[in-house]
A and B are shown apart, each in its own frame.
Chain A
Amino acid sequence: MSVLVDEDTRVVVQGITGGEGEFHAGQMMEYGTNVVAGAVPGRGGEEVHGVPVYDTVAGAAEAENADASVVLVPPAFAADAIFEALDSPVDLVVAITEGIPTQDMSRVKKRLGETDKHLVGPNCPGVITPGEAKLGILPGNIFSSGNVGLVSRSGTLTYQVVDNLTDRGLGQTTAIGIGGDPIIGTDFVDALSLFERDPATEAVVMCGEIGGSDEEEAARYIDANMDTPVAGFIAGRTAPAGKRMGHAGAIVSGSGAGTAESKIEALGDAGVPVGDTPEEVADNVEELL
């Protein structure tokens, strides 16, 4: 079992004719993902890696019966690409692009709330169900199939923790990189609720970092709603406080919130063991299973 993606997921790659789009569409196909089309305005009729390119996402999704899209489009055009995907038949949009203006994402988030679709990202490595499909830029070879779900705000930290899990023979149901931007589609609570409903996921690893209060909210959700055990990791214990925190931003978030200590404490209170190192996270998962 898995969440969000599996071997039947049919994928459109937005931006497939670009350097990153072409490289990672190829990597996804090599991994076994059903990449069925590309979508790039003005490039309809071409082919990349043997799949047809369409001018629009809707056109690609209708012609090829696609149900997911991966956005590998430069930041200036990425919000528009996500809006386009949300206005097409695909149910899942995975946005990899880093550096989308925050105001653009605020509008995307508003629109997303008016649909019943899933958006993962942006500024994320994507979603992978090992052995079935990967939507994004994650290095497929480090993942293995199993019963641990993983959700993380940081791409490279996801890889690190998965490496430690796989080393111990702890395979994964699905790994979701939710992205590190201030405004994202799927958040910890959304991802945890997907894993909670998945019978194959027997433990979940949640990797957070300093800033914002999503981890604290996730801790409250775990405490109130989850039977599946969760192991945690928080990056940024040694990060200096107060770097470039604008006045108005500090007013909204209040003081003291968003530190590693506050997140580790909130998770601890919800019964989530938080490892000091990625190795320890793997130890904790072994104990929870």
Chain B
Amino acid sequence: MRLHEYQAKEVFAEAGMPTPESALAESTDEVLDAAESIGYPVAVKAQVHVGGRGKAGGIELAENDDEAREAADSILGMDLKGYTVERVLVEQAVDFVDELYVGVTMDRGAGEPVAMVSSEGGVDIESVAEESPEAIAREHVDPAFGMHHYQANRAVYDAGVDREVASDVASVLTTLFDLWENRDASEAEINPLMITGDDEVVAADAVMNIDDDALFRQPDLAEMEEAAAGDDLEAKANEYGFDYVRLDGNVGIIGNGAGLVMTTLDLVDYYGGEPANFLDIGGGAKAERVANALDMVFSDDNVDSVVFNLFGGITRGDEVARGINSAIEEFDELPKPVVVRLAGTNAEEGMEILNADALDVEQTLEGAVQRAVEQAGGAQ
């Protein structure tokens, strides 16, 4: 789960991180009120989950009421890479002399957190990582101990940060690491961390991605989650709690376990069809969940046929068959042809229960995929 900038900044400020004064606004009037109370100049920043907001016209500076009104009018309601901007953050514009990058993430290869500092902040840090990786100082952190203060210092000195602000930057990195750890983040980033003319440090942006698996112990952050914007089907998948990705093809795919669902997609492609989606019902799915999955894929207009591939382990074939039956009971005729293949735990019981008259039942994965591609109009 990704926090919006304004949400991440609230979390930052609570932890004592230096952040600019700011206020959230949803209308031009609110922008003007906020700007007046903060004092010009201000930055008006779109609050949507996309990178590169500045370049895309989602961040404007305003020196006075006229400019603030203009910025608000142009940003509020704009379409930013597929997302409609409904809120902006009005923020004190920081007069800076230097910009740094500070970040913490999990290095999955090492199995340990890594803290990073770069003096080349304020730009596309991914290009820096690719073109001059030595410009980013990295410190791996023992997850059992947390980050030692010397490590924060070493990262800051290795990154060549100006000595006048080194100690303040190290303290920002320590705070960021503690936030990353205490709030179960997968990523926490400040880009840019601004250095002002009088050697103050200010977090001018804030990125926080929270580990979805840890939301149970971060109830205040879980409340900040919103339905995925921009796509009704994805919002629906979110509601049902499915791992779902919409694709461009016409063969709908439902299965259990990411590896097997991906393999089913690959086979649809291999036999000349085009996958319409990735939908993983997950482990141990009960009948209702299976019915919801079919409902999801039936609601996608692009879908011409559906392949339901289940290989039970922790998931039981009889439960899945009951789910399929209850989903198709609602129809006199199915809206799209459905090919079912059941294998594994309780698959035999499932096959006995399954209302096979309304469905295509296949014994093998390859057979099921080929049949579904055929039903969708054959190989492309």
Q: Which residues of A contact B (CB under 8 A)?
A: 20, 24, 27, 75-76, 96, 98-107, 109-111, 125, 137-139, 142, 152-160, 163, 180, 182-183, 207, 209-210, 212-213, 233, 235-240, 243-244, 246-255, 276-279
Distance of A214 from chain B, by nearest CB (Å):
8
| Beta-carbon contact of B260 and A238 below 8 Å | no
Q: Which residues of B contact A (CB under 8 A)?
A: 2, 51, 103-109, 111-114, 116, 125-126, 129-130, 136, 142-144, 181, 184, 186-189, 191, 207, 209, 211, 213-214, 216-217, 245, 247, 255-263, 265-270, 275, 278, 282-284, 311-314, 343-345, 365-366
- In the complex formed, the residue of B with least CB distance to A177 is B313
Q: A154-B257, A156-B260, A180-B258 are in contact. Are A248 and B269 (CB under 8 A)?
A: no
- Cβ-defined partner of A139 (8 Å) among B111, B112, B345: B345
- Tell me whether chain B's interface is mostly helix, strand or loop, or mixed: mixed
A105 to B245, CA, bound (A): 26
| Beta-carbon contact of A159 and B181 below 8 Å | no
Q: For A106, what are the chain B residues with a Cβ–Cβ distance below 8 Å?
A: 106, 111-113, 143
Could you jot down 12 A-B contacts, CB within 8 Å? A76-B216, A125-B313, A154-B262, A235-B259, A236-B265, A238-B269, A243-B245, A247-B191, A248-B207, A249-B187, A251-B103, A278-B365
| Beta-carbon contact of A251 and B136 below 8 Å | yes
- Cβ-defined partner of B111 (8 Å) among A109, A125, A156, A276: A109
| Beta-carbon contact of A237 and B260 below 8 Å | no
Q: A20-B284, A106-B113, A246-B209 are in contact. Are A156 and B311 (CB under 8 A)?
A: yes
- In the complex formed, the residue of B with least CB distance to A212 is B108
Total number of A-B contacts with CB less than 8 angstroms?
195
| Beta-carbon contact of B262 and A239 below 8 Å | yes
A251 to B102, CA, bound (A): 12
Q: For A101, what are the chain B residues with a Cβ–Cβ distance below 8 Å?
A: 184, 211, 213-214, 217
Q: For B344, what are the chain A residues with a Cβ–Cβ distance below 8 Å?
A: 139, 142, 156, 159
Between B255, B265, B314, B365, the greatest number of chain A beta carbons within 10 A of the residue's beta carbon is seen for B314
Distance of B104 from chain A, by nearest CB (Å):
7
A99 to B103, CA, bound (A): 25
Between B106, B217, B269, B282, the greatest number of chain A beta carbons within 10 A of the residue's beta carbon is seen for B106
| Beta-carbon contact of B125 and A251 below 8 Å | yes
Q: For A212, what are the chain B residues with a Cβ–Cβ distance below 8 Å?
A: 108-109
| Beta-carbon contact of B259 and A209 below 8 Å | yes
- Cβ-defined partner of B262 (8 Å) among A100, A236, A251, A255: A236
Q: A106-B113, A183-B108 are in contact. Are A155 and B313 (CB under 8 A)?
A: yes
Distance of B317 from chain A, by nearest CB (Å):
9
Q: For A109, what are the chain B residues with a Cβ–Cβ distance below 8 Å?
A: 111, 143
- In the complex formed, the residue of A with least CB distance to B209 is A246
Q: For B142, what are the chain A residues with a Cβ–Cβ distance below 8 Å?
A: 110
